[in-house]
Amino acid sequence: MPVYPALAAAGFRRWSTYRAATAAGALTNSVFGALKAAVLTGTVGTAGTVAGYDAAQAATFAWVTQALLAPVSVFADDEVARRVRTGDIAFDLARPVDPQLAAWATDLGRAAYTLLPRGLPPLLAGLLLTGLALPATPAPYALGAVGTALGVSVSFAARWLVNLTAFWLTEVRGVLLLYTVLATLLTGLTLPVAWFPGWLQALAAATPFPSMLQTPVDLLLARATGADALRLVATQLGWLAALLLGGRVLLAAGARRLVVQGG
Amino acid sequence: MAESTLAAYRAVLGSRVRSQVAYRASFAADLLANVGTGVSEFATIYVVFSRATTLGGLDVWQACLVFALANVTFALADLLLGHVDDLPTAIRTGTLDALLLRPLPVLAQLTTSDVSLKRLGRVAIGVVVLVVAWPHTGVALDARALALLAGALCGGTAVFGAVFVVAGALQFWLLDGREAVNSITYGGVTAAQYPASLYSGALRWLFCYLVPAAFVAYLPVLALLGEPGPAGLPAWLGWFCPVAAAVAWGVALLLWRAGVRHYTGSGS
């Protein structure tokens, strides 16, 4: 098997071994989905609709974002930062595969694995507790699949880039927590970005965060169709290219700084 | 013996506190990120009330009181006991075995193992929201209000502390499923931040009675406002936050003891 698909398959298998952890995560995603659905439908309340969402669509938004939370991996992990701190990153640089493409392939494998076991339970809970307002035609699902793959990729590229600040900062816990805080709000994980006041929508639009989660959900729930949908996908592609390029530049600069201690 | 034990705890706690502020830049980043967590949680309230005038029967300032009480108490409990949920790491690496050998209760040792001062960032956000929102709610700051507030703050911190201990104890059984307990810890504070009147069915049962999250903020605020409360959740329950805390601690300590007895060593 060519190397990058093999890495993606390895990522898939690696995550499939943590069955109890996956079940625990799915349970937590579902409980938070129920809380979110209650707050979102409570906000729509007697008003009828908020920014184009009625109560059923607001609840559906809550469940679908919870279903995609794990595949997209909204919260930052510190895997690469740890490798930078310990010097293990030197091994990645020495291997005959591109470190960024290898990590991307592995992350796509991880996302592919988490999609069903982490995604189905919140959707099932939603179906039982509030019902789901899903589109009846196939096109939104196809667009949603493309948007999700791109969302996962944009999220990967951003997390990889932020992790590489470890070359300069060494201790990146605060930076990663700050990233997670921003991502939680601006990806649309807590509330639809369309509900934000104008200035906060503008702020979100200036970051790659909405491309990670809000866009896949907008495509999947047919909130964006036709030219709008294409514009969203183009935005995702733009952020993906920019973040991947930024990551490459940062890695090259970091590698020049890297001093591997003997031993 | 009691005095020397106390002195030992003081020395340990002092060293933990000093160790955290030793790396100033890292501490500042942590503190900032924790303020950010509070701000981001508050942003949800802000966005919701930019779209609706009431949420679950509360207006924006009343909802701010609920948010503030939930966040201050959770952050204080997290500061004191939050890292008990690192127990699986202590079990996997074998450090728990070392704690078991010492002549002090394991829970007390874990409690003093890391007092995360960075959590003060989130406490600060809650206090600011409380102080700003209070005058707008028209609630007089009299003896009755102070008694309710003190009961909610102390009781709420104790409730979340007990929730952390329960979450820790469950991990003696759930090693690989540690994320499940986030449902009651982080789920608990998320639930406590909003009017419990929003929840129905299993959710209300879970976050009003099983995890007494509604007792921490929503019910005391209803009692403060003199509101009657929704069906099944009378506002006078707001006075019972300390009682809920006592019950929660009873359950937590029993579960913790059962967990320690269940523990058979990591073999590492």
CB contacts of B47 in chain A (<8 Å) are 191, 195-197, 200
**Residue B39 and residue B59: Cα distance in Å, rounded?**
19
**Residue A41 and residue B84: Cα distance in Å, rounded?**
34
Tell which wins on pLDDT, B74 or B33. Answer: B74
CB contacts of A35 in chain B (<8 Å) are 187, 190-191, 194, 199, 203, 207
> Across the interface, do A42 and B34 touch by the CB < 8 Å criterion?
no
ipTM of the complex model? 0.89
Q: Is A23 exposed, middle or buried (0-12, 13-18, 19+ CB in 10 A)?
A: middle
Q: Domain residues for B195? A: 2-262
**DSSP secondary structure string for all residues of B88-151:** HHHHHHTHHHHHHHSSS-HHHHHHTT---GGGHHHHHHHHHHHHHHHHHHT---SHHHHHHHHH
Lowest mean pLDDT among A146-155, A203-212, B52-61: B52-61
**Mean pLDDT of all residues in chain A?**
92
pLDDT value of residue A156 = 97
A49, β-bridge pairs: A54
pLDDT value of residue B207 = 94
Listed in sequence order, the residues at least 6 apart from A263 whose beta carbon sits closer than 8 Å to its beta carbon are none
Listed in sequence order, the residues at least 6 apart from B108 whose beta carbon sits closer than 8 Å to its beta carbon are B9
Nearest by Cα to A250 from A99, A72, A77: A99
CB contacts of B54 in chain A (<8 Å) are 45
For residues B70-87, average pLDDT: 89
Question: What's the Cα-to-Cα distance from A114 to each of A61, A104, B25, rounded to whole Å?
Answer: 19, 15, 36
pLDDT value of residue A171 = 77
> Across the interface, do A45 and B47 touch by the CB < 8 Å criterion?
no
CA distance B5 to chain A (A): 34
Identity of the residue in B26, B180, B202 whose CB atom sits nearest the CB atom of A24: B180
CB contacts of A43 in chain B (<8 Å) are 48, 51-52, 55
Question: What does the pLDDT look like over B66-77, one tens digit per residue?
Answer: 999 999 999 999
CB contacts of A31 in chain B (<8 Å) are 183, 187, 206
Q: Residue A95: which pLDDT band, with cuts at 50, 70 and 90?
A: confident
> Across the interface, do A24 and B200 touch by the CB < 8 Å criterion?
no
**Report for A72-81, B7-16, B157-166: range of highest mean pLDDT:** B157-166
Residue B268 in domain:
no
Listed in sequence order, the residues at least 6 apart from B25 whose beta carbon sits closer than 8 Å to its beta carbon are A171
> Across the interface, do A47 and B52 touch by the CB < 8 Å criterion?
yes
> Across the interface, do B198 and A42 touch by the CB < 8 Å criterion?
yes
B55, β-bridge pairs: B58
For residues B195-200, average pLDDT: 94
pLDDT value of residue A13 = 86
Lowest mean pLDDT among A110-124, B46-60, B75-89, B219-233: B75-89
- Whether the Cβ atoms of residue B75 and residue B126 lie closer than 8 Å to each other: yes
pLDDT value of residue A261 = 58
Structural domain total, chain B: 1
CB contacts of B62 in chain A (<8 Å) are none
Q: Least CA distance to A179: which residue of chain B?
A: B33
For residues A190-209, average pLDDT: 96
pLDDT value of residue A16 = 80
Q: Least CA distance to A199: which residue of chain B?
A: B47
The total of other beta-carbon atoms located within 10 Å of residue A148's CB is 23
> Across the interface, do A173 and B178 touch by the CB < 8 Å criterion?
no
Identity of the residue in A34, A177, A197 whose CB atom sits nearest the CB atom of B33: A177
Lowest mean pLDDT among B4-8, B94-98, B194-198: B4-8
CA distance A140 to chain B (A): 27
* Percent of chain A with pLDDT strictly greater than 90: 72
* Percent of chain A with pLDDT strictly greater than 70: 98
Residue B71 in domain:
yes
Q: Which helix (H) or strand (E) holds A258?
A: none
Lowest mean pLDDT among A105-114, A182-191, B177-186: B177-186
pLDDT at A28 over 50: yes
- Whether the Cβ atoms of residue A32 and residue A88 lie closer than 8 Å to each other: no
For residues A39-63, average pLDDT: 92
**Residue A67 and residue A132: Cα distance in Å, rounded?**
13
**DSSP secondary structure string for all residues of A175-222:** HHHHHHHHHHHHTTSSS-GGGS-HHHHHHHHTSSHHHHTHHHHHHHTT
> Across the interface, do B178 and A21 touch by the CB < 8 Å criterion?
yes
The 10 Å CB-count burial string (b at 16+, else e) for B189-217 is: bbbbbbbbbbbeeebbebbbeebbbbbbb
pLDDT value of residue A263 = 45
Q: Which of B40, B181, B184, B190 to mutate to test the interface with A (most CBs of A within 10 A)?
A: B40
CA distance B190 to chain A (A): 8
Listed in sequence order, the residues at least 6 apart from B233 whose beta carbon sits closer than 8 Å to its beta carbon are B196, B197, B204, B208, B214, B218, B219
pLDDT at A90 over 90: no
- Residue B227 token pair: 């509101």
**Residue B60 and residue A262: Cα distance in Å, rounded?**
60
The 10 Å CB-count burial string (b at 16+, else e) for B156-166 is: bbbbbbbbbbb
CA distance A260 to chain B (A): 23
Residue B197 in domain:
yes
Nearest by Cα to B83 from B188, B10, B216, B185: B185
> Across the interface, do A42 and B55 touch by the CB < 8 Å criterion?
yes
Q: Residue B266: which pLDDT band, with cuts at 50, 70 and 90?
A: low
Residue B137 in domain:
yes
Residue B267 in domain:
no
Identity of the residue in B34, B47, B182 whose CB atom sits nearest the CB atom of A191: B47
- Whether the Cβ atoms of residue A76 and residue A180 lie closer than 8 Å to each other: yes
**Mean pLDDT of all residues in chain B?**
89
**Residue B41 and residue B228: Cα distance in Å, rounded?**
27
Q: Residue B267: which pLDDT band, with cuts at 50, 70 and 90?
A: low
Lowest mean pLDDT among A234-238, A250-254, B129-133, B157-161: A250-254
**Residue B123 and residue B128: Cα distance in Å, rounded?**
9
Q: Least CA distance to A200: which residue of chain B?
A: B47
